[in-house]
């Protein structure tokens, strides 16, 4: 799986096109033509059993007959012929193969068998496979266009596009060309029989021309490996992902809120957050954001100045900036003074700075220069509707040197279409991001600010507590797994697990008689709770096996007998070990903390509101387990249940530190034992500051293997 083995895909010395065709309607023609016309400097061989010539070259009847060097083969032949061709590639010593054909896993079991067969052949020769169902790959700087997409290919640029969908590649290349927007590399992964999105991240990121990686994902092949690879890249180059299939949540057996609410989406969000991957919600956002991330430096903060020649678009921009979590910088007195010196009296020298419709190209440039010098301004949006007195192109020309001279990002809202074409061309050539409407410019500025914050945030290792006796927990779990109770371990065992991981539960002792219960209650301190102790009763209150808030000894003695009576009446056959005498928890705020094993990303930790809000409001947030300190804080900030722990109006602040530790400890438990399919503390009672937390109830389900 080493990146070295993928080298022939990205910088082949020689390429053999198997299934090259003279018929212009065939993909075998299209790819051959693209390869030649893209001005690829390596060797190109065409292979077709019928021989003949193509684009001035002879066609070889077999791959075996192609002369050196050939390290990459592209197969444009039908599915059924692929295995034989792969064997020949192997014999020929080719190291990398792209399969364009469909007719594999996507058509059902038969196709999947064929795909597996192809993979084993490739593996037996040590060859790497891209596809099947790949439209190919291209590099505009090498250059090499090894796709069968209709020409022309994309312009050279600095954004790489990696896609699970071939049709999206076709659309993106065509759309980008229409937008005069360049790409550096494009990789169509198809079925990913071998090479996956994660595999290509590193080689694509290594390309010096690529400044931003964009991904169209339908899933990931190995969640944790994706996170690990992406994390290393995002420190250097941004990755933007459009993850589709949001509402096709996987089927899984769930028995807790955590399980029910941990959809694929929450897992992806947690993983992207950890890896620093920026998630786009729409296709347009991907490329809107990519341009700004590729062309501008990250700003030092969220303060934005808006420079406009009209009030309306300025207000629209201000609205959009605020809605994206940015704010309008307060301009200093000296900035305002400088602005008023060159603007008419009716102009607005507050932010948004409105120069009025008469603004000349020089005024645009001078004002921008003044604004960029204000330390409160971290980035600037310049608004340019078709100016009534001048051309937008003239404004662009005077603005560009000012923009290039500053370290702060400047983005243009260039409103209109025909009257601004010249300006569009100037800005694109100068790599200054421009958008048709202020709203989209604001969205790009917001992503830029987030990227800057990510880069400023130091990398943090996940938190682990070393004093935890993992071995003890392991033995406990192994013992519990020999017994059978529908996958659930008993609450007693679950509480012991929490105890080993340092999460407090209420003091509980087992009483076998009313006298013993009374003595234990005295020892614990009143009030106490009584609960039936039976391995066969998962829902104690359903059988009237619980009494809360007992204030005195008489109550305990009576309660002990009462509970035994209730349970014997309601479920006569269960084993009764006695009655638990339990400390009553002090008042506090209730939250929920859970963990679940995700198919793609392994252990996830969840935090949210206690009570019915967790489901009713979906007031929850997820992170990968084990969890970092920053992620723990995020869980609290992202939820109302977490925010109000800090106190709100007449609600007193609760012990946030203890909650954070409980989250981190439960995450460590889930990460240590992947066999715990779900574990949930609901509620976790959070007492006042310095008073700690108590896990009042815990349920855990084990995956018997």
Give dist(CA 442, CA 328) in Å, integer: 11
Site string for a copy of itself, 627-666 (x = CB under 8 A): -------------x--xx---xxxx---------------
CB of 556 to a copy of itself, least distance (A): 25
Q: How many residues bind a copy of itself (CB under 8 A)?
A: 78
Q: Which is nearer to a copy of itself, 167 or 206 (CB)?
A: 167
Asked if 20 and 28 count as a contact pair (C-beta separation under 8 A), the reply is yes
| Sheet architecture: strand order including 14-18 | 53-54, 57-60, 43-47, 14-18, 72-75, 96-99, 128-130
309 binds a copy of itself (CB under 8 A): yes
CB of 197 to a copy of itself, least distance (A): 13
Query: Could you tell me if residue 431 is left (phi over 0), alpha (psi between -120 and 50 degrees) or otherwise beta?
Result: left
255 binds a copy of itself (CB under 8 A): no
CB of 231 to a copy of itself, least distance (A): 26
Task: Figure out which of the listed residues 196, 316, 329, 351 binds a copy of itself, where binding follows CB under 8 A.
Answer: 316
Give dist(CA 621, CA 636) in Å, integer: 8
174 binds a copy of itself (CB under 8 A): yes
Residues 285-304 that bind a copy of itself (CB under 8 A): none
Residues 375-394 that bind a copy of itself (CB under 8 A): 385-386, 388-389
CB of 440 to a copy of itself, least distance (A): 8
CB of 397 to a copy of itself, least distance (A): 19
187 binds a copy of itself (CB under 8 A): no
Asked if 123 and 89 count as a contact pair (C-beta separation under 8 A), the reply is no
80 binds a copy of itself (CB under 8 A): no
Q: Which is nearer to a copy of itself, 191 or 505 (CB)?
A: 191
CB of 252 to a copy of itself, least distance (A): 19
Part in contact with a copy of itself (CB under 8 A); list of ranges 14-22, 104-112, 566-574, 682-690: 104-112
In terms of Cα–Cα distance, which of 664, 251, 255 is closest to 489? 255
Q: Which is nearer to a copy of itself, 461 or 616 (CB)?
A: 616
In terms of Cα–Cα distance, which of 562, 528, 526 is closest to 544? 562
Task: Report the greatest alpha carbon distance in the chain.
Answer: 103
Task: Figure out which of the listed residues 69, 143, 245, 535 binds a copy of itself, where binding follows CB under 8 A.
Answer: 245
Residue by residue, what is the 3-state secondary structure of 80-103?
HHHHHHHHHHHHHCCCEEEECCCC
Give dist(CA 125, CA 96) in Å, integer: 10
Part in contact with a copy of itself (CB under 8 A); list of ranges 228-236, 436-444, 573-581, 599-607: 436-444
Question: What secondary structure does DSSP assign to 219-266, as a single string?
Answer: --SSHHHHHHHHHHHHTTS-EEEEE--TT-PPP----SHHHHH--HHH
Give dist(CA 82, CA 76) in Å, integer: 9
Task: List Cα–Cα distances, 295 to 140, 157, 404, 430, in angstroms.
Answer: 18, 11, 11, 9
Residues 8-47 that bind a copy of itself (CB under 8 A): 25, 27
Asked if 28 and 76 count as a contact pair (C-beta separation under 8 A), the reply is yes
Per DSSP bridges, beta strands 96-99 and 72-75 are parallel
Give dist(CA 704, CA 483) in Å, integer: 11
Asked if 473 and 672 count as a contact pair (C-beta separation under 8 A), the reply is yes
Task: Figure out which of the listed residues 282, 458, 573, 690 binds a copy of itself, where binding follows CB under 8 A.
Answer: 282
78 binds a copy of itself (CB under 8 A): no
CB of 289 to a copy of itself, least distance (A): 14
Task: Figure out which of the listed residues 322, 425, 515, 637 binds a copy of itself, where binding follows CB under 8 A.
Answer: 322
Contacts of 447 (CB under 8 A, 6+ apart): 278, 289, 292, 293
Q: Which is nearer to a copy of itself, 281 or 478 (CB)?
A: 281
CB of 451 to a copy of itself, least distance (A): 22
Q: Which two tokens mark 291? A: 């341009």
323 binds a copy of itself (CB under 8 A): yes
Part in contact with a copy of itself (CB under 8 A); list of ranges 119-127, 615-623, 629-637, 691-699: 615-623
CB of 378 to a copy of itself, least distance (A): 18
Phi, psi at 613, each rounded to 5° = -65, -30
Give dist(CA 50, CA 59) in Å, integer: 8
Q: Which is nearer to a copy of itself, 382 or 581 (CB)?
A: 382
CB of 493 to a copy of itself, least distance (A): 26
Q: Which is nearer to a copy of itself, 337 or 643 (CB)?
A: 643
Give dist(CA 166, CA 140) in Å, integer: 18
CA angle 240, 238, 152 (to 5 degrees): 65
539 binds a copy of itself (CB under 8 A): no
Q: Which is nearer to a copy of itself, 109 or 572 (CB)?
A: 109
164 binds a copy of itself (CB under 8 A): yes
Give dist(CA 603, CA 180) in Å, integer: 43
CB of 535 to a copy of itself, least distance (A): 26
State the Cα torsion 494-495-501-503 to the nearest 10°.
130
548 binds a copy of itself (CB under 8 A): no
608 binds a copy of itself (CB under 8 A): no
Give dist(CA 193, CA 474) in Å, integer: 37
313 binds a copy of itself (CB under 8 A): yes
Give dist(CA 32, CA 13) in Å, integer: 16
Residue by residue, what is the 3-state secondary structure of 324-392?
CCCEECCCCHHHHHHHHHHCCCCCECCCCEECCCCCCHHHHHHHHHHHHCCCCCCEEEEEECCCCCCCH
Task: Figure out which of the listed residues 312, 375, 549, 586 binds a copy of itself, where binding follows CB under 8 A.
Answer: 312
CB of 304 to a copy of itself, least distance (A): 13
Residues 212-231 that bind a copy of itself (CB under 8 A): 216, 218
57 binds a copy of itself (CB under 8 A): no
260 binds a copy of itself (CB under 8 A): no
Site string for a copy of itself, 335-374 (x = CB under 8 A): ----------xx---------xx-----------------
112 binds a copy of itself (CB under 8 A): no
Crossing angle for the helix pair 392-405 and 421-429, to the nearest 10 degrees: 20
Q: Which is nearer to a copy of itself, 43 or 254 (CB)?
A: 254
Part in contact with a copy of itself (CB under 8 A); list of ranges 199-207, 329-337, 432-440, 674-682: 432-440
Part in contact with a copy of itself (CB under 8 A); list of ranges 33-41, 242-250, 484-492, 509-517: 242-250
């Amino acid at each position: 799986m080493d990146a070295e083995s993928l080298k022939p895909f990205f910088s082949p010395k020689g390429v053999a096109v198997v299934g090259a065709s003279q018929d212009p309607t065939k993909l075998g023609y299209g790819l051959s033509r693209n390869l030649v016309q893209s001005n690829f400097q390596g060797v190109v061989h065409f292979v077709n059993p019928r021989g003949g010539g193509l684009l001035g070259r002879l066609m070889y009847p077999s791959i075996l007959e192609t002369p050196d060097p050939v390290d990459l083969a592209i197969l444009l032949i039908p599915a059924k012929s692929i295995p034989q061709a792969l064997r020949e590639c192997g014999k020929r010593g080719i190291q990398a193969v792209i399969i364009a054909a469909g007719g594999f896993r996507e058509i059902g079991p038969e196709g999947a068998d064929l795909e597996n067969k192809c993979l084993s052949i490739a593996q037996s020769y040590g060859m790497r496979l891209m596809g099947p169902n790949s439209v190919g790959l291209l590099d505009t700087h090498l250059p090499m266009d090894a796709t069968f997409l209709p020409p022309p290919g994309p312009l050279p640029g600095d954004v790489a596009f990696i896609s699970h969908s071939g049709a999206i590649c076709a659309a993106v290349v065509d759309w980008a060309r229409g937008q005069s927007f360049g790409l550096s590399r494009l990789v169509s992964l198809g079925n990913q029989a071998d090479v996956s999105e994660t595999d290509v991240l590193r080689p694509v990121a290594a390309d010096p021309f690529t400044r931003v990686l964009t991904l169209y994902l339908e899933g990931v092949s190995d969640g944790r490996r994706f996170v690990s690879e992406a994390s290393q890249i995002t420190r250097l180059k941004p990755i933007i992902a459009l993850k589709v299939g949001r509402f096709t949540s996987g089927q899984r057996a769930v028995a807790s809120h955590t399980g029910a609410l941990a959809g694929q989406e929450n897992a992806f969000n947690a993983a992207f957050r950890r890896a620093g991957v920026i998630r786009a919600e729409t296709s347009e956002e991907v490329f809107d954001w990519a341009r700004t991330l590729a062309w501008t430096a990250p700003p030092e903060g969220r303060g934005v100045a808006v420079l406009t020649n009209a009030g309306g678009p300025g207000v629209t921009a201000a609205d959009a900036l605020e809605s994206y979590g940015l704010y309008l910088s307060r301009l200093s007195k000296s900035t305002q003074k400088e602005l008023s010196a060159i603007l008419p009296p009716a102009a607005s020298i507050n932010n948004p700075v409105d120069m009025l419709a008469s603004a000349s190209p020089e005024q645009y440039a001078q004002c921008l220069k003044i604004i960029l010098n204000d330390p409160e301004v971290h980035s600037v949006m310049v608004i340019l509707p078709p100016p009534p007195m001048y051309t937008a192109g003239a404004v662009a020309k005077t603005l560009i040197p000012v923009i290039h001279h500053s370290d702060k990002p400047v983005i243009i809202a260039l409103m209109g279409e025909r009257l601004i074409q010249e300006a569009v061309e100037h800005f694109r050539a100068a790599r200054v991001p421009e958008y048709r409407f202020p709203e989209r410019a604001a969205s790009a500025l917001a992503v830029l600010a987030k990227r800057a914050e990510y880069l400023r945030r130091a990398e943090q290792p996940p938190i682990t507590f070393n004093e935890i006796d993992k071995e003890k927990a392991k033995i406990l779990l192994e013992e519990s797994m020999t017994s059978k109770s529908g996958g659930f371990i008993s609450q007693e065992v679950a509480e012991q697990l929490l105890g080993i991981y340092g999460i407090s539960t209420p003091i509980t002792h087992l009483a076998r008689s009313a006298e013993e219960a009374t003595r234990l209650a005295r020892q614990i301190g009143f009030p106490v709770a009584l609960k039936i102790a039976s391995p066969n009763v998962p829902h104690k209150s359903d059988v009237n096996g619980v009494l809360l808030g007992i204030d005195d000894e008489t109550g305990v003695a009576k309660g002990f007998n009462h509970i035994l009576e209730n349970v014997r009446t309601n479920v006569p056959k269960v084993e009764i070990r006695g009655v638990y005498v339990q400390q009553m928890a002090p008042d506090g705020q209730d939250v929920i903390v859970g963990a679940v094993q995700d198919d793609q990303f392994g252990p996830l930790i969840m935090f949210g509101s206690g009570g019915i809000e967790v489901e009713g409001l979906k007031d929850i947030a997820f992170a990968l387990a084990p969890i970092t300190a920053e992620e723990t804080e995020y869980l609290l900030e992202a939820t109302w249940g977490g925010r109000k722990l800090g106190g709100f109006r007449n609600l007193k602040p609760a012990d946030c530190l203890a909650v954070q530790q409980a989250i981190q400890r439960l995450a460590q438990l889930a990460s240590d034992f992947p066999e715990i399919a779900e574990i949930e503390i609901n509620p976790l009672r959070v007492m006042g500051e310095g008073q700690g937390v108590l896990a009042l109830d815990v349920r855990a389900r084990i995956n018997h293997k």
